[in-house]
Amino acid sequence: MEAFVAALTVFVLAIFLGFEVITKVPPTLHTPLMSATNAIHGVILVGGVIVLGQAHDTLGIFIGFFATL
């Protein structure tokens, strides 16, 4: 259970990090909608892969799998 909480913490921190990253992207580089969408998907995918890689129980595998879809 302790590993799951650690993996879930990494996942949640990845979401907050992604939000901070997309707010720093200047609109002249990409349209705001596309840059936000790509950054959010990338960070969630990385967080999901980390959770999936460290999962030892069914719930962790379930969350990691659906985060990477």
Residue closest to 2 by CA, chosen among 66, 63, 57: 57
Entry pTM: 0.46
CA distance 13 to 9: 6
Quote the crossing angle between the two packed helices 32-54 and 2-23, to the nearest 10°. 170
pLDDT at 30: 63
pLDDT at 12: 92
Percentages helix, strand, coil for the chain (3-state, rounded to 5) are: 80, 0, 20
How far CA 54 is from CA of 3, 30, 62, 64, in Å, comes to 7, 34, 12, 9
pLDDT in tens, the chain (69 residues): 788 899 899 999 999 998 888 788 776 766 766 767 787 888 888 888 888 888 888 888 887 788 777
